[in-house]
A = this chain, B = another copy of it.
Amino acid sequence: MSSLKIAIAQINFLVGNIAANVQHIINTAHAAREMGADIVLFPELTVTGYPAEDLLLRKDFIAAANNAIYTLAEQVKDIAIVVGFPEYDGEHLYNSAVVLHQGVTLATYRKQALPNYGVFDEQRYFAEGIQPCVFEFNGTFIGLTICEDVWQGGIIAATKQAGAELLLTLNASPFNAGKVDQREAVICAQIKAAQIPLVYVNQIGGQDELIFDGASFVADTDGEIVFRAAEFEEQLSVIEFQDGLPVPSHCAPQYEETAGIYQALVLGIKDYVRKNGFSGAILGLSGGIDSALVLALAVDALGAEKIEVVLMPSRYTQDMSNEDAVLQADAMGVKHHIIPIEPAVTAFTGMLADIFAGTKKDTTEENIQARCRGVILMAMSNKQGRLLLTTGNKSEMSVGYATLYGDMAGGFAPIKDVPKLLVYALANYRNSLSAVIPERVITRPPSAELAPDQVDADSLPPYEILDPILERYVEQDQSAEDIIAAGFKREDVARAISLVDRNEYKRRQSPPCIRITSRAFGRDRRYPITSGYRGI
């Protein structure tokens, strides 16, 4: 009876740091060998991390990435490794995978399906491979594929046709809500049709806007999942193939949707802070739901001792806002500061009095308050080397209900892709683990507190109506007429859409977020600022 032990290296890389990634590969390969594996499979573009973006246009970077393969061939000999790298053949660059064993290259595969939609720009960098790759290892014929390849039936079938008995696939498949199910459904259907078992390894970790969720898996010839790695964690696992078939192993439980999003956000904050070398994070805590959720996420990601919060009340801030903010900070063991913004607001009001004489109060005065808070928070961030977390949600960011350089100030916007209703769901989920967000923060009507008795509902449709309209318009590209036909009032649709159309300029200057929907603002939705398009 033949046996082949394949290690699945679901690991977290730092994009651009080839030397560190090579060391991580070497250490992981040795650990896999100790676990008895014959071969260890790494994620897509292992040596550079994914996505390396325009670093891939640098000759020095590509040379270093190609040299890394020689280093690996030299330093890892007692186990076969399958690693991804940007392969340069003197003319074109390929998104490739190489199999190294005992200092010899057993096979090189060039990715055939290059995604160039959504968050992907692979045709900007890579030329397409044109043929399948099968290599023999200990008597088994193994096919190689990379990520997008296995979303398309043709490549799996062609690889089997070329003699593969077993498929290995290297991936960098980013998370969004529902992605694990979608991924397994699509790929396993291809696998079942082709009747070939598959080992799928995904990277994990946060990289700017993207979260890679792991959830690596093994499917048998019928497309049944016989092993699944944990989500959002590094994991090294060994799967045994007997006579070409995978021996069923442990399937890590999957997070239900809200919990999974929460984990994604925690990982996103953790990796952004860690990989960018910040000593911790700060945020403005208003007593509202958005900053309350961001604080909970930040503490869960970094620990209370690495966080400070600032309360910055104005004359419009209700007492309960301050009370609830302090309550949560204390409950989570986080240091808080209180800096009333009145002195700065008064100063600016005086400085602008002559110029603004005779004009009416409008959002200008509200924005000044928000910007005074931005100045305070950025000063603390600068002085302490802590990352300023921006607390705005996706609903606000869609309709521009936020102040540029005010509450939009910050280096990272964890919930910028989280619609308001989901903010509430996440807060309730977090409180179900342990009550950290005061109940009143969740139940009171949302308000920016920039004018007397202001509530969001004064200027926006209720979030129960706004959020589904925004999802249809922003994420699904539905037209106004489609949305109205689905049962929404024309006036609500018109109000929401016209705000989305008008506020691209704000979004363009907003900090990066953590992408958790199928369409986040940023590289995922590339709209012109200067635009005569009106959705309604």
Q: When A60-B479, A348-B375, A405-B374 are in contact, do A55 and B531 touch as well, CB less than 8 Å? A: yes
Which of A29-37, A169-177, A337-345, A452-460 lies on the face that meets chain B? A337-345
- Chain A interface, number of residues (Cβ within 8 angstroms): 85
- Cα A107 to Cα B103 in complex, Å, equals 59
Task: Determine how close the nearest CB of chain B comes to the CB of A389; give it in whole angstroms.
Answer: 14
Indicate if A253 sits at the interface (CB-CB under 8 A).
no
Q: When A17-B532, A344-B351, A477-B59 are in contact, do A527 and B371 touch as well, CB less than 8 Å? A: no
**Contact flags A271-307 to B (C-beta < 8 A → 1, else 0):** 1100110000000000000000000000000000000
Give the residue of B207, B346, B527 whose beta carbon is less than 8 angstroms from that of A528. Answer: B207
Enumerate chain A interface residues (CB-CB to B < 8 A). 14-18, 20, 49, 51-55, 57-61, 116-117, 121, 123-124, 206-208, 271-272, 275-276, 337, 339-341, 343-344, 346-348, 350-352, 355-356, 359, 362-364, 367-368, 371-372, 374-376, 378-380, 382-383, 404-405, 409, 411, 477, 479-482, 505, 508-512, 523, 525-533, 535
How many copies of this chain? 2
Give the residue of B511, B526, B532 whose beta carbon is less than 8 angstroms from that of A15. Answer: B532
Most buried by B among A356, A411, A528: A528
| Chain B residues within 8 Å of A339, by CB | 351-352, 355
Task: Determine how close the nearest CB of chain B comes to the CB of A404; give it in whole angstroms.
Answer: 7
Are B530 and A15 in contact, CB atoms less than 8 angstroms apart?
yes
Are A375 and B383 in contact, CB atoms less than 8 angstroms apart?
no
Q: When A116-B116, A355-B380, A404-B378 are in contact, do A528 and B53 touch as well, CB less than 8 Å? A: yes
Give the residue of B55, B121, B411 whose beta carbon is less than 8 angstroms from that of A533. Answer: B55
Give the residue of B57, B362, B378 whose beta carbon is less than 8 angstroms from that of A371. Answer: B378
| Chain B residues within 8 Å of A207, by CB | 528, 530
| Chain B residues within 8 Å of A368, by CB | 375, 379
Are B355 and A348 in contact, CB atoms less than 8 angstroms apart?
no
